[in-house]
Structure 1
Amino acid sequence: MSTIKVKVPGSIMLMGEHAVLFGEKALACAVDKYIHIELVPRPDSEIHIDSALAQYQSVLEDIADEPKLSFVIAAVRRYSAKLPSGFLLRIQSEFSHKVGLGSSAAVTAGVVAALSAFTNQSLEPQALFDKALKIVHQVQEGRGSGTDLVASIYGAVVSYRVEPREITSLPALPEISLFYAGYKTKTPDVLKIVEAKAVKQPEVYSEIYKLMGLVTEKAEVALKQKNWLALGELMNNYQGLMDALGVSDRSLCDIIYSLRGSGRILGAKISGSGLGDCVLSLGNDSGLTLPYEQIPVGVSAEGVTIEYN
């Protein structure tokens, strides 16, 4: 059988963090930093995985655990009954898993696409998303909205609601900038912290999520109208609500207010769950010097792509 090559973009959250888990919309986009996955069939039942995170070897009959490859192993197990043989899986990334570009979602989407192709299953975006989301929920004990998966699988800019499921493609963004705080708190851990706070003030947090949903819906309208000034203002509004949730901190605020001090930046906010990771700005100021790593990114028009060699 042919070698299968999959290319999948990373992703960033534009808006909808946290509130998407409570029925509100989220906006995200695929970015032009990619994960490359190559599946090479083997004549036996051995599984070999070559990744920067770990080197792995097992057999289909008894698939061993590897915590550093938890999403990959979970995907292999889900497909194991239909796999025609063993395989070599090579995983290469253009970005660090420590930076908030949705690496876990992108790897999961890419491995699901490769294994679906290998087992002659549907490669339609909806089918890939359904399978990948089940794997993410399995690994993360039911946590995760799937927003980053939608962006990586569908590509470009997307609007997404969990239930009832809505996925809408939106116009491309103008220039964006991304800055890394230098540290990251895992999303499940951030969610646990927010949940603990929400238990003490359930009515307040419920209203915050509703306001987040309202801001996101207005941002979607601004995107459709290509009203970038309004979108930037709404990004600033959403950041205030992220602060109210308790997921902003000194470094993130330093980046945000430094960016907002530039006349070339229309808006700036946390991208992702918060307590570290990245700040996204609408616009770019090449003359602005910050003591934080800037990650060059643009929007990827394509989502998951598959080739056979």
Structure 2
Amino acid sequence: MVSISTSAPGKLFLLGEYAVLDGAPALLAAVDRRARVTISDSESGSWQVSAPNLGIVNLALGGDGGLPSGLDAAGRSKLRVFDAVREAVLARAPRPARPLAITMDSGALSRGGHKLGLGSSAAVAVALTAALATALDLDLDREALFRLAEQAHRRAQGGVGSGGDVAASVYGGLIRYSRGAVPVPLRWPEELSVLAVVTGEGALTTRLVGRVADYAAEDPARYRADIARLAGLAERAEASLADPDAFLRLAGDYFSALTVLDTHARAGIVTERHHELHAVAQRVGGVFKTSGAGGGDVGLAFSHSGEPAERLAAALAGAGAAVVPLGFFAAGVHGGSRS
């Protein structure tokens, strides 16, 4: 083996966030910011890992690539996805692993050092699973790759999350995703435009989801009512793609239902800035909503294509909101061949 290179896209939840955790479907789009992994035989004779955007360069690892015993808590946290994927792939590899040098880079999924909520850890998990599987002659079809990467990512995240971000990174494009089901590819209507908008400096997904879980334990009846409201809207998402006006109404209704959930959970999903941008979009015929966990992560602005989209972009710029230059519906995980 000379070198193996893989890449996997980030993602954005268009509709269905939080409800997807309770079995409702979600719409996700892969975006053209990609995590990249390169693997080669180690020239030093021992396992090494580098993650330049995390400040890790040529870290010497233990046997079979295990994290060194002297690594501090911060270093272990940065490499928790790496370690979970390494362990999952090695447990299934058909032959013993030789020492490898591994480089991971997810810097493209952040902005000015702040995360955007594009699913960088999931994209790394997918790209690394694909690269390690190739290096160790583990043959995985797309569904098997998803299952293995999702299992490892869930373990690294402490069991939190829906798996939708992993699915988007594997399958790419626009998908309908439900937990436990194979993702369904969909087509985005040309009549609709979507923009990604910076809303803060990033949010910790596990913290926000954890606060909602606390609310579910404290007031299960009201939580179930809030999630049922979101789930009912999420069930209409796929059909609404056939009618741009219906989709825009649905996106607005979903933001309102998320606001109710957040008010009850006191989680910080919907911020004052989100409400400001929602009002800005509404004044020009568009819709703004949070995406994914919410908080300071990137939000979404929807409108009809053409002149309405230009008007919406101008209104957002006038409100001081930066639009992130993203290509939506990008290809899924790529690479894995030896070069």
Q: Deviations over 1:195-226 (max 9, x none)?
A: 22233432222122122122112111122x2x
Shift in Å, 1:154: 0.1
Distance 2:50 2:139 in 1: 23
Choose 105-114 or 250-259, whichever is displaced more. 250-259
Q: CA RMSD in A?
A: 1.9
The answer on 1:84 being equivalent to 2:101 is no
Determine the structure 2 residue equivalent to 1:261: 283
Shift in Å, 1:62: 6.3
Shift in Å, 1:61: 4.4
Letter of the 2:271 partner, please give it. Answer: D
1:255, 1:279 within 8 Å by CA — same for their partners in 2?
no
Determine the structure 2 residue equivalent to 1:272: 292
2:173 maps to which of 156, 166, 186: 156
Q: Deviations over 1:48-92 (max 9, x none)?
A: 324311222213346125321210122123334545312222223
1:232, 1:268 within 8 Å by CA — same for their partners in 2?
no
Letter of the 1:142 partner, please give it. Answer: G
TM-score (normalised: structure 1): 0.91
SS at structure 2 position matched to 1:257: helix
Distance 1:191 1:304 in 2: 26
Determine the structure 2 residue equivalent to 1:32: 32
Letter of the 1:250 partner, please give it. Answer: E
Q: Deviations over 1:150-204 (max 9, x none)?
A: 11110000111114x2421110254311112122321111112112223343222
TM-score (normalised: structure 2): 0.84
Choose 144-153 or 182-191, whichever is displaced more. 182-191
2:60 maps to which of 46, 57, 62: 57
Q: Percent identity?
A: 26
Distance 1:152 1:63 in 2: 25
Extract unaligned runs of 5+ from structure 1: none
Determine the structure 2 residue equivalent to 1:291: 320
Label 1:34 to 1:104 Cα distance change in 2 as closer, same or farther (>3 A): same
Letter of the 1:240 partner, please give it. Answer: S
SS at structure 2 position matched to 1:184: coil
Determine the structure 2 residue equivalent to 1:220: 238
Letter of the 1:16 partner, please give it. Answer: G
1:123 maps to which of 100, 124, 140: 140
Shift in Å, 1:15: 1.0
Distance 1:36 1:62 in 2: 19
1:234 maps to which of 227, 242, 250: 250
Determine the structure 2 residue equivalent to 1:109: 126
Distance 1:75 1:274 in 2: 26
SS at structure 1 position matched to 2:61: strand
Label 1:61 to 1:162 Cα distance change in 2 as closer, same or farther (>3 A): closer
The answer on 1:147 being equivalent to 2:164 is yes
Shift in Å, 1:139: 1.5
The answer on 1:176 being equivalent to 2:194 is yes
Shift in Å, 1:268: 1.9
1:29, 1:299 within 8 Å by CA — same for their partners in 2?
yes
Distance 2:60 2:46 in 1: 11
